Chains A and B, each alone.
Chain A
Amino acid sequence: MISQKLLQFSAFNHKTAMKTPVKIILGAGILIHYLLLSLINIDTTLDCIVNNKGILLVEMEQSTYQPIKKKLDLLLGKTDYKFNDYLNYYLAYTGTETGYGFFAPNVPTSYKLVFEYTLKNKQKITMIPQINSHELGLRLCNYYETIGKTDVELLRNSLIRFMMQEQMKGLENVVSAKAIFGLVLTPSLRNYTQSKNTVYQFMYAYEYHIENK
């Protein structure tokens, strides 16, 4: 209690009180910052709803949201980013460029990437990417999510190829490599008592001939 009173006493006895113009500038700054943050978050919320990922508002017509979403995207410089470069710089430098819907609306599914290398002597080696650091291991999930969710085939192929090339460094005389990418479906809470097995669902496979590169 005494310490609190002492703190308050020293606060009110501070010699330099803040001037009104400074307060106005700071007030305007905080208002703009949070206006931007509101727009970003409304935009990501609309993303969530428009893509029919949710249940609560899924009944509503997409046509209701699409015009607002388009306007927001334009305002935030998402569709035509030259229009709003400075805004995007500010958002990137302050770490507010994304919304806060982590693990939402549902927890994302896990993915798995397996490589099968064929050596010159026809021996086959199966490997999965190995990470020692726990922190970087967590990041690998996001990488897999990008591979799993992207519509750009070239990007998916390139990302898998980079991993394959890195993995292959420790191996000699590799003739060909196969990459198999899939979903890891852990048993749901409702079905866990019936089946405890994790299911792997195939998504993509690539074959690389190393000699030809």
Chain B
Amino acid sequence: MNIISKINKILDHFLFKPIQTNVFAFFRIAVSIHCIIFILSIYAEMHQFFGLSGFSNREVTETFIRLKFIPRLSWFNDILGGLFSSDTQMLHFVLLIHLLFIITMLFGLFTRLSALITLFIHLCIIQSNAFFLYGMDYFTTISLFFCTFMPVTDFSLDEFLLKRKTSSPEFKRFCIRFIQIQMCFIYFFGGFHKAIGINWWNGESMWKALTRPPFNNFDFSFMAQYPKIFMLMGWATVVHEILYPFMVFTRFFRKYWILAIITMHLCIGIFMGLYLFASIMIILNITAFLSKELDTVSCSSKLFAASVFHKIKQLYYLHLKFPFRIFKHIKN
């Protein structure tokens, strides 16, 4: 066997080794819930940040979009502007459409189309005011982009009602690898950038991250007398992030490393108040590297649900006879 065919075989095994997993259903549902929370959290004050008259002016902020065909909120204004008496109303309408398609994506009805429209509206919102963006927006865009082509139709209404076929196991492996490599890039470069700065090594950055407004959700001043704790926390962050691509592909360290990273994000969410950033990172980590564990949990919960269902059926069969018939009728 020559080198090229060997490389081919290794690559084929790495990228396309068949896998049967339900992790993409989790991914779709989790990303949808994340997006719903995001929409609800900005709904009331949307006009302040993305409106024509608020803390910033959309007409001005959109001039910073370099390319002509990058989605923006003024496209909606051009089409729907005449239908609403105010810009705020128009923005709320856009958010409601966004919410509608996120919900259809959540339930998996016309999943791909819903994901595409959700991605489009999300891009419209975030691109319209680049001054307000932070990491979470980019990760949400990446996740929605994944939803547009990955096999996220498991446990969906598309599968149940429209009888859509599930994707091939090879494609599922490919998609998992896609997310895994993306995560490796995110953490490796994130860690490397941190390693360049001196303050991540002497604990100052960790201290600052926890005490500077608006991230000072808790008072950590009592810990100032133990500066070594902050130093260790800084080191742990840098080391875990830089070594992420190497450790997550080893059987021995994978679970520990992912759990450590998830714990780090939980801490970011709780102590720094970046709960949406934390949630999207945890979702991406679970999807990329804990698919086996998630499948085991879902299988055992399925078995548990089936046994509960069976018992209920035995006890209340007469009462549930009619709903069962309707259910079977819909299913067929």
Which A residues are closer than 8 A to B by beta carbons?
3-4, 6-8, 10-12, 14, 16-18, 23, 26-27, 30, 33-34, 37-38, 41, 44-45, 48-49, 53-57, 81, 85, 88-89, 92-107, 109-110, 129, 131-143, 146, 158-159, 162-163, 165-166, 184, 186, 188-190, 192-193, 196
Contact = CB atoms under 8 A, between A and B. Distances in A.
A100 B190 contact: yes
A143 B129 CA distance: 10
Count chain A CB atoms within 10 A of each CB in B132, B225, B274 and give the residue with the most. B132
B49 A105 contact: no
Interface stretch (B76-84, B106-114, B195-203, B249-257): B195-203
B204 A189 contact: yes
B197 A104 contact: yes
Interface string B103-124: 0000000000000000100010
Interface in B201-235: 202-205, 207-209, 211-214, 221, 224-225, 227, 230
B174 interface: yes
Contact of B194 (A92, A103, A189): A103
B224 A193 contact: yes
A55 B202 CA distance: 12
A23 B15 contact: yes
A117 to B, nearest CB: 16
Interface stretch (B91-99, B138-146, B258-266): B138-146
B15 A4 contact: no
Contacts of A146: 131
Contacts of A132: 44-45
Count chain A CB atoms within 10 A of each CB in B56, B181, B182, B196 and give the residue with the most. B196
Contact of B197 (A17, A53, A140): A53
A18 B196 contact: no
B168 A17 contact: yes
Nearest to B46: A136
B145 A95 contact: yes
A102 B67 contact: no
A4 B293 CA distance: 10
A166 B214 CA distance: 21
5 contacts: A54-B198, A98-B138, A103-B194, A104-B194, A106-B208
Interface of B (DSSP majority class): helix
Count chain B CB atoms within 10 A of each CB in A12, A17, A48, A94 and give the residue with the most. A94
Interface of A (DSSP majority class): helix
B86 interface: no
A184 to B, nearest CB: 6
Nearest to A198: B213
Given A26-B15, A41-B185, A107-B208, A100 B42 contact: no
B18 A143 contact: no
A18 B170 contact: yes
A13 to B, nearest CB: 9
Given A100-B190, A132-B45, A8 B60 contact: no
A3 B140 CA distance: 32
Contacts of A143: 55-56, 131-132
B308 interface: no
B299 A3 contact: yes
B20 A18 contact: no
A94 B274 contact: no
A56 B174 contact: no
A96 B214 contact: no
Interface string B155-184: 000000000000011110010011001100
B240 to A, nearest CB: 14
B74 interface: no
B189 A18 contact: no
Given A133-B45, A158-B60, A139 B132 contact: yes
Contact of B139 (A55, A85, A95, A192): A95
A135 B70 CA distance: 24
B185 A34 contact: yes
Given A88-B66, A162-B57, A166-B54, A131 B45 contact: yes
